[in-house]
């Protein structure tokens, strides 16, 4: 495996324009000769499918759900960033670029991040033209609010339902192409393998989730936009169907996997409340625009929050980080919450929670203003906890939320397999070791609407792509492997459910590869995962049959992949002997308990090459060059 980022030459600000000029074009009349497969219909896949079809390519789009509209992107709450500077606060493309590079603790590629900031403004225009109902101010102009890690308000939003509204926009664009015959949708299909012929991605194998039938589909290029793998931890804020399987299968077929240990733990989620829980709920970062985070100053103080006087409260984020206050980036806020709880200052029954208090904001702005901004989030909180956050502070605790790692992609968003492109949360690209809030939607839509439509053309126009069909041996072999695995899972007939193994894996990951890590714990965790995986393949029970809608079988396949992938996360965490962003190895911290990077030795993208089941993967490094920003110790004081 050879990593080549293919970063264009020239000044940072001109790279993307220059690259678009230099990329080969597919003549409009020739586009109809190319078939493109897009797996995933979230913001990344939905926008890519619509845009590629609009250009004239024949697109086949696949998703697990019954409708593209149900992709996990629909859950996104707080907003999407863009450098419009509508508030006249001094925002700019450069500032968004800088904030994102710094927010990621200097572990992302400058050229990609700059391009992301450049196209951020086009995304807002595109979505407004589609009719996305972004919040507007009194005069009718688009409103903005703040998110973590920035000192400007650059987040566009639609109450706490931004993802839903953006997805409806992308979905309408997609369905227009379906009506025109340019896109064929294959819902309820799970990609089980990718087909590589002569080093090129030429198709996929999917299971029809209703009939159990294995299907094979050929194409000239394959685009994976299958989302993130936070569910490796079992409990996360992600939808239950989110998985690693598609990108993990691609990894096994030769796609490099980058920075798998970079997992974002979001500071404000509704705390875990029991052992039977299977899902955690996010309370959007937007709430920290108005909510103030605090804990009692005295450990073990069990009084109700309203009985604790101001003088006995510690607004620790405001105290520790006066410049950014409650809106420090997520990694910093999460570790601070944990730190408070570790000192016995956590609140609630478990002691694993901190307050997020709106009393001051309600006093200042009135309840109706707060309701307008966050009404649906408050309602959701009350439904889940039976407490009214207008009256009593919310209780929140960090939870697994997003994965910065993903398949390696070059500047064209192509993986290390020719013709296999990866978009959205599924790639590793733009967020380094920590993603800033409201930047995932920006990245997914940048990839889908504004980057892949150009870069895929460059590939298709410049690459010999012999005609193939699904009778090729590579298709037959991949389909047979998928069938054999399903048969194996159904035949074990052991004593433990799939969820039992998933929960156990999740706990191992959370305890040893979560908010903080250390080498001893990681080594133990690796062994525990290996043992758990062995037991899974001997003792899991998967009820039902293949030829039916069988969600236990679906989950079994995904958990089997998580059980292998979890180990890769551990291997990656062990190899990175520094702390950066979300990856906090206790051995590497500053005197103030912040992450301590080692730029001399670890300023790289760690990309792993699969070498066989139960064999050590091989590490490849893309060294990151910072020519436009100065590497500093990240500070939000």
Active site residues: 330
Helix, strand or coil, per DSSP, at residue 293: strand
Which residue's CB is nearer to ligand FAD, number 86 or number 449?
A: 449
Structure tokens at 168: 């409806």
Structure tokens at 433: 């070791």
* Least distance CB 353 / ligand FAD (angstroms): 18
The CA distance from 502 to 48, in Å, is 32
Which residue's CB is nearer to ligand FAD, number 222 or number 465?
A: 222
At a CB cut-off of 8 Å and minimum separation 6, what does 447 contact? 44, 47, 48, 225, 413, 423, 424, 427, 429
**404 contacts 260 by C-beta, under 8 angstroms:** no
The CA distance from 162 to 147, in Å, is 14
The CA distance from 475 to 37, in Å, is 15
Instruction: Give the residues lining the site for ligand FAD (CB under 6 A).
Output: 39-45, 62-65, 71-73, 75-80, 162-163, 189-191, 225-228, 237-238, 242-243, 245-246, 282, 284, 401-402, 424-426, 438-441, 444
Cα distances from 90 to residues 442, 505, 634, in angstroms, run: 20, 46, 21
Tell me which residue of 421, 46, 34 sits closest to 224, measured CA to CA: 421
Q: What is the DSSP string of 337-376?
A: HHHHHHTT---TTTS--EEEE-HHHHHHH-HHHHHHHHHH
Instruction: For residue 196, report the phi and psi dihedrals to the nearest 5 degrees.
Output: -115, 125
> Pairing relation of β-strands 35-39 and 58-62?
parallel
Q: What is the DSSP string of 160-229?
A: T-HHHHHHHHHHHHHHHHHHTTSEEEE-SEEEEEEEEETTEEEEEEEEETTT--EEEEE-SEEEE-----
Strand order in the sheet with 292-296: 263-269, 394-403, 354-357, 292-296, 313-314
H/E segment holding residue 619: strand 618-623
The CA distance from 311 to 458, in Å, is 63
Question: What is the CB neighbour count within 10 angstroms for residue 303?
Answer: 12
Structure tokens at 124: 């807002």
Instruction: Output the CA torsion 546→551→555→558 (10° steps).
Output: 60
**435 contacts 34 by C-beta, under 8 angstroms:** no
Tell me which residue of 123, 156, 151 sits closest to 141, measured CA to CA: 156
Q: Determine the residue with CB nearest ligand FAD.
A: 42
**575 contacts 376 by C-beta, under 8 angstroms:** no
At a CB cut-off of 8 Å and minimum separation 6, what does 68 contact? 41, 45, 46, 61, 171, 174, 185, 187
Instruction: For residue 139, report the phi and psi dihedrals to the nearest 5 degrees.
Output: -80, 0
Length of the chain as a residue count: 637
Q: CA 327 from chain center: how many Å?
A: 20
The CA distance from 586 to 51, in Å, is 45
Q: What is the DSSP string of 232-268?
A: GGSSSSS-TT--SHHHHHHHHTT--EE-TT-EEEEEE
Q: Tokens 């190319």 identify what position?
A: 34
Structure tokens at 320: 């520790």
**179 contacts 515 by C-beta, under 8 angstroms:** no
Which residue's CB is nearer to ligand FAD, number 326 or number 579?
A: 326
């Amino acid at each position: 495996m050879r990593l080549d980022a293919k970063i264009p030459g020239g000044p940072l600000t001109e790279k993307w324009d220059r690259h678009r000029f230099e990329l080969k074009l597919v003549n409009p009349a020739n586009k109809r000769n190319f078939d493109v497969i897009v797996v995933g219909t979230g913001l990344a896949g939905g926008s890519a499918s619509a845009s590629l079809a609009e250009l004239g390519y024949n697109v086949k789009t696949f998703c697990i759900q019954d409708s593209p509209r149900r992709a996990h992107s629909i859950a996104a709450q707080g907003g999407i960033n863009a450098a419009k500077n509508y508030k006249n606060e001094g925002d700019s493309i450069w500032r968004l670029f800088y904030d994102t590079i710094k927010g990621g603790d200097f572990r992302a590629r400058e050229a990609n991040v700059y391009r992301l900031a450049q196209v951020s403004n086009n995304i807002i225009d595109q979505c407004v033209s589609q009719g996305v109902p972004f919040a507007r101010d009194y005069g009718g102009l688009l409103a903005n609010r703040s998110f973590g890690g920035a000192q400007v308000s650059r987040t566009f939003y639609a109450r706490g339902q931004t993802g839903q509204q953006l997805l409806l926009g992308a979905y309408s664009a997609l369905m227009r192409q379906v009506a025109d015959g340019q896109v064929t949708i294959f819902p309820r299909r799970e990609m089980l393998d990718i087909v590589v012929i002569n080093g090129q991605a030429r198709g996929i194998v999917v299971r029809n989730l209703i009939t159990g039938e294995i299907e094979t589909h050929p194409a000239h290029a394959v685009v994976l936009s299958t989302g993130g793998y936070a569910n490796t931890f079992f409990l996360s804020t992600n939808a239950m169907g989110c998985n690693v399987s598609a990108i993990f299968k691609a990894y096994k077929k030769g796609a490099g996997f980058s920075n798998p240990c970079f997992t974002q733990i979001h500071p404000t989620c509704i705390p875990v409340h029991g052992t039977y829980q299977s899902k955690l709920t996010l309370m959007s970062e937007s709430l920290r625009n108005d909510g103030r985070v605090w804990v009692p100053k005295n450990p073990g103080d069990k009084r109700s929050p309203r009985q604790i006087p101001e003088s006995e409260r510690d607004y620790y984020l405001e105290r520790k980080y006066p410049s950014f206050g409650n809106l420090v980036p997520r990694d910093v806020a999460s570790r601070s919450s944990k730190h408070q709880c570790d000192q016995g200052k956590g609140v609630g029954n478990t002691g694993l929670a901190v307050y997020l208090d709106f009393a001051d904001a309600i006093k200042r702005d009135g309840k109706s203003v707060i309701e307008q901004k966050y009404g649906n989030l408050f309602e959701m909180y009350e439904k889940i906890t039976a407490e009214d956050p207008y009256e009593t502070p919310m209780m929140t605790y960090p939870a697994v939320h997003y994965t910065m790692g993903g398949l390696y992609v070059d500047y064209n968003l192509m993986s290390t397999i020719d013709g296999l492109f990866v978009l959205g949360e599924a790639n590793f690209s733009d967020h380094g070791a920590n993603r800033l809030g409201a930047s995932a939607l920006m990245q997914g839509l940048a990839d889908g609407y504004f980057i892949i439509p150009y870069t895929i053309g460059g590939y298709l126009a410049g690459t010999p792509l012999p005609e193939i069909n699904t009778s090729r041996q590579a298709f037959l072999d991949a389909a047979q492997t998928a069938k054999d695995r399903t048969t194996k899972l159904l035949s074990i007939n052991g004593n433990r459910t799939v969820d039992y193994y998933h929960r156990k894996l999740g706990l191992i990951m959370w305890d040893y590869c979560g908010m903080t890590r250390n080498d001893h714990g990681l080594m133990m965790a690796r062994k525990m995962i290996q043992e758990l995986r062995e037991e899974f393949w001997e003792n899991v029970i998967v009820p039902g049959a293949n030829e039916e809608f069988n969600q236990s079988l679906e989950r079994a396949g995904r958990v089997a992949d998580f059980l292998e992938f979890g180990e890769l996360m551990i291997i990656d965490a062990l190899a990175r002997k520094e702390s950066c962003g979300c990856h906090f190895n206790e051995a590497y911290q500053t005197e103030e308990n912040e992450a301590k990077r080692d730029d001399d030795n670890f300023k790289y993208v760690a990309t792993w090459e699969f070498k066989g089941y139960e064999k050590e993967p091989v590490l490849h490094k893309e060294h990151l060059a910072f020519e436009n920003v100065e590497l500093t110790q990240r500070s939000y004081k």
